[in-house]
Structure 1
Amino acid sequence: MSTEAGSLSEFDRSGAAAWERSGAAARCGPEVVAPEGVEAQTCVMTREDTVWARVYYRNATGEELRSLLTLMGPGGRTVELHCAPAAHDEPDTCETPRVPSSGLPGSATAVAEFVGAGPVAEAPLLLRAGSERAPDARG
């Protein structure tokens, strides 16, 4: 398995062999746990000349949540995906579409934000988890 700055989440150990065979590399941030019962780890995935963001998460809040996964690249380029974490205590993933990489290797970062139920303007931010930046990336 190829990792550059972080390690593959405990949430995806069952799929680690297939992940390793795919030739993808991951830069993952730390696993973050919110007191409300959400835990997540965000990674930037790369394979050859493509890049995408993936978040591994577990929603133990008992409520459906809203989540926004954002992949940020050089020059202000972003890819956003709205995820809908179900109200169950099982590990799951959400990932952005794969896009051509641009800029220096490792220049992309990713952030996942999980918010509670209710009107968007009133929904509390429960957790924000980000990827690691490559050691040689500047910005």
Structure 2
Amino acid sequence: MNLRLIGIGAGVLVILSLPLAGAIAGPDFAGLDDGKGGGLFSTLGLSQPRTSPAEPPVRPESAVGRERPGPAEQPRTDSRCGPELSAPYGVEAQTCVLVSEGRTWGRSYYRNTSGRALDVVLTTMGPAGRTVQIRCEVGEGDEPGLCETPREDSVGDPEGYSAVAEFAVPDDEGKLLLRSGSNSPAPGDG
């Protein structure tokens, strides 16, 4: 056998075994290991050191059963969306009105396969003539994106809000390619 090949193989085995050896030995946080345990079970939270010699050890089953803090619960967001639309020019969009925690806003999801950059003007209209409008640049490419108006305090019934997104060519032409609204089609509007 070739001694060089054997040496390389042994080196690879040593390198691959180091993470496993570290996990079994347990962490030593800058020399803070007191020698009373550690190892893989401690690293995984399956055992705890005793606080006094008279106290019985904690069984791993009880340590696993404890509740661990998780991510904070997110507030509920209600949405009312119009149909998914596509234009022959390569633009697909769906526009929604969203409501959460007393705030309302508009959002338009889109995909631009037209091969050129576009502009979208998203308008959210609410009761008593309240209107919020934003202009978003839509880059060329097939990646999905979204445009969203700022969140405003809700006034009146959430059903009184609507949103409209208009996708157009940004140069002097200003050619409208697609208009997408949050209104749901009425039954029988085929």
TM-score range, shorter chain: 0.7 to 0.9
- SS of equivalent residue, structure 1 residue 27: strand
Instruction: Give the structure with higher Rg (CA).
Output: 2
1:130 and 2:178 correspond: no
After TM superposition, what 4+ stretches of structure 1 lie above 6 angstroms from structure 2? none
Percent identity, aligned pairs only?
A: 51
Aligned mates of 2:158, 2:149 — CA distance in 1? 18
Structure 2: gaps of 5 or more residues: 1-72
- Normalising by structure 1, what TM-score? 0.77
Q: How many residues align?
A: 113
For the 8 Å contact 1:63–1:117, the answer to whether it is kept is no
- The equivalent residue for 1:30 is 83
C-alpha displacement at 1:75, in angstroms?
1.2
Superposed CA deviations along residues 31-74 of structure 1, whole A, max 9, x for unmatched, are: 01000000000000000210000000000011000110000001
- Normalising by structure 2, what TM-score? 0.57
- The equivalent residue for 2:113 is 60
Q: 1:70 aligns with which of 123, 130, 144?
A: 123
The structure whose RCO (Cα within 8 Å, separation 6+) is larger is 1
RMSD: 1.7
C-alpha displacement at 1:117, in angstroms?
3.3
- SS of equivalent residue, structure 1 residue 84: strand
Q: 2:158 aligns with which of 96, 105, 123?
A: 105
- SS of equivalent residue, structure 1 residue 123: coil
- SS of equivalent residue, structure 2 residue 142: coil
Aligned mates of 1:21, 1:89 — CA distance in 2? 30
Q: Is the helix fraction higher in 1 or 2?
A: 2
